[in-house]
Structure 1
Amino acid sequence: MTVDVGVGERVLYGCMGLGGSWGPEPYGVGDIDAAEAAVVAALDSGITAFDHADIYRGGKSEAVFGEVLARTPGLRERITLQTKCGIRLPDGDRPGMYDLRGRSIARRVEESLVRLRTDHVDVLLLHRPDPLADPDEIASALTSLHRQGLVRNFGVSNMGAAQIAHLQARLDVPLVANQLEMSLYRRDWVEAGVLLNTPHLAGNGFPFGTLEHSRDHGIRLQAWGALANGRYTGLQETPAERATAALLAELAGRKGTTPESVLLWWLTRHPAAIAPVVGTTRPERIRACRDAATREPDLTHEEWYELWTTARGVPLP
């Protein structure tokens, strides 16, 4: 069974930057206004899927988004709402940890629903693997959330093919998404497939076969960090970054779009149907991604490879 996460969208908006500081300070009206401006910019750009996590800004990202929903009657029905759980930030003497115990998953979802001011989330992702987790217990918790109508779909984040298959074997509902760091800068995901049988493969940490497993099982790949933190559309630090930025600008000029959209097209052009997550809070930069959300990726085979090899700084093996 394949579920189209994000209602067929090519791009999601990542809400980690909303909500003010990461510290204990409460959010204020200015933070709500900033969140609303980002949401409006995303909607204006054809983006209606919004990505959260319970830990973002210590929960304040979800809370200010809930305030925006309260300000805008009818908005909840127009969007896809996704959140994550499974990371516990350090607290006093307790270290940071991963926690996918069943009762913890249930509690985190309930808390997220309160902050988001909604009765369900469309997608819940397990944020990172928990080495101590019992997959049968995870499956039981997810099944219960689904039966209660609190979560419509499930996925994972930062997991490889074997981990996904291990969990899916115990779960009746399909895992529909896997969110990974993927960009023209973080290229491990694409390089893993071409570095096989070369001495460079040992330095590649991407779990080989994850893209293929996702495609075979209808799992939508989502790319966090898709804009590479402005590395190619802001300040460049290396010759390869400067050359890549120049190429992006040239391609954008030829195609009547922005460098940001071309950068995202490089991901969406891949046959794995990768959905970039745009995390900037600046409305003008969100709008610069509009063509990635609303147009088919306008990159030829040759242009795609030219971007890849320019970013690498060295030829392919």
Structure 2
Amino acid sequence: MRKVTLGRSGIEAGDISLGCMRMDGLSLEKATEVIETSFASGIDLFDHADIYGGGKSEEVFAQALKASSVQRDEIILQSKCGIREGLFDFSTNHIMTSVGKSLKRLQTDYLDILLLHRPDVLMEPEEVAEAFSELKKSGKVRYFGVSNHHPLQIELLKKHLTEELIINQLQLSLVHTPMIDAGLNVNMLNEAAVVRDSHLLEYSRLHHMTIQAWSPFQHGMIEGVFIGNPDYPEVNAKLEELAEKKGVTSSALAIAWILRYPGRIQPVIGSMNPERIQQICQASDITLSREEWYDLYRSAGNKLP
């Protein structure tokens, strides 16, 4: 698998990462197989959050990692915090407490990366800075980032932080492309021209932040998978056509489409099926032509101006 440098951290990770949200439902044997298959396929970044499975996903992962042949220092452990029931919380106390609990559940002394999960409107950036500084100083977190944040929220944080933000985790799939649409429909009056994210793609490239694409197979927010979905006949027909041509699955093609973006986006796949993980990871060996990329974009219902 090809590698991507995460921000300006110097960390080299596989092109594709594994989201562990659904790991709480696996047996120890199955979770171990998922970790070993992922690692053998080139995945070395495993994405968690304190809320996944109410914390159980981190617990199952830790037990499975110990049972596997994969060593802690061979992988990149990433977790997220900031979501509480019914609210968001970026207070110093919540960040520190959340990280402490995640470390205990993950049975590790440190996180490689900590992300702030969703923007907290009541955020005091000085409190985030205090938490990050203490976590860095104590060795509990090596690097930091955000998730679902727009550029001005990031700039507000950066004004107070001494640590660099290396990642922004954002929703992106072949059928969820608002970040891309606005950049193609400049100065137009159509719906696609509406800028919903303050030009995150360009901002991320300018500021050397790696975008991690969550839900790369989903339509809507988390309403379902579009691969093989009869509600998306054109995009599936095009995916199947190209998949047969390149000898891979439609899912691998959908990931290859994301990887083709020059800013080197790192998709976060959430499959807990070892065979499917292997198939999806073949995307890293595929480079779509410009014609193929735009064909897929148009097949998802997008019109070029």
With the length of structure 2 as denominator, give the TM-score of the two structures: 0.91
Displacement of 1:123: 0.4
Which of 2, 10, 16 is the aligned partner of 2:8? 2
User: Which residue of 1 is the match for residue 187 of structure 2?
Assistant: 197
* Match among 294, 300, 309 for residue 298 of structure 2: 309
Corresponding position of 1:234: 228
Corresponding residue number in structure 1 for 2:98: 108
Q: Deviations over 1:220-276 (max 9, x none)?
A: 000000122673433322xxx112111111111212222111111111100111100
2:17 corresponds to which residue? 12
Secondary structure, in 3 states, of the residue corresponding to 2:8? coil
Match of 2:3 in 1: none
Cross-structure match for 1:298 = 287
Per the alignment, residue 24 of structure 1 pairs with: none
Partner SS, residue 193 of structure 1: helix
Computed over aligned residues only, the root mean square deviation of the Cα atoms, in angstroms, reads 1.8
Tell me: CA distance 1:310–1:206, structure 2 relative to 1, closer, same or farther (3 Å): same
1:196 offset after TM fit, Å?
Answer: 2.8
Question: Unaligned 5+ residue runs, structure 1?
Answer: 21-29, 90-95
Q: Secondary structure at the match of 1:130?
A: coil
The aligned residue for residue 258 of structure 2 is 267
* Aligned-pair CA distance for 1:73: 6.0
Choose which of 42, 45, 48 in structure 1 pairs with 2:41. Answer: 45
Shift of 1:77: 1.3
Is residue 36–residue 68 contact of structure 2 (8 Å, CA) maintained in 1? Answer: no
Equivalence map 1:271-286=2 (5 Å): 271-286=262-277
| CA distance in 1 between partners of 2:141 and 2:63 (Å) | 21
Retained in 1: the 8 A contact 2:184–2:193? no
Displacement of 1:100 in angstroms is: 0.5
Matches within 5 A, 1:145-160: 145-160=135-150
1:49 touches 1:80 (CA, 8 Å); kept in 2?
yes
Tell me if structure 1 keeps the 8 A contact 2:212–2:268. Answer: yes
Amino acid at match of 1:159: H
Once residues 137 and 191 of structure 2 are traced to their aligned partners in structure 1, the CA distance between those partners, rounded to angstroms, is: 43
Alignment map for 1:106-255 (pairs within 5 Å): 106-201=96-191, 204=194, 206-228=196-218, 231-237=225-231, 241-255=232-246
1:24-43 paired onto structure 2 within 5 Å = 31-43=27-39
Separation in 2, partners of 1:36, 1:110: 24
Residues in 1 aligned to 2:206 and 2:151: alpha-carbon distance in whole angstroms? 11
CA deviations over 1:148-201 (Å, ceiling 9, x no partner): 100000000000111111111211111000000001011111112123322234
Establish whether residue 58 from structure 1 lines up as the match of residue 46 from structure 2.
no
Q: Which moved more, 1:282-291 or 1:265-274?
A: 282-291
Q: Which amino acid aligns with 2:75?
A: I
Partners of 1:304 and 1:100 lie apart in 2 by: 38
TM-score with structure 1 length normalisation? 0.88
Output the amino acid matched with 1:307.
Answer: L
| Residues 1:142 and 1:72: Cα distance change in structure 2 (over 3 Å) | same
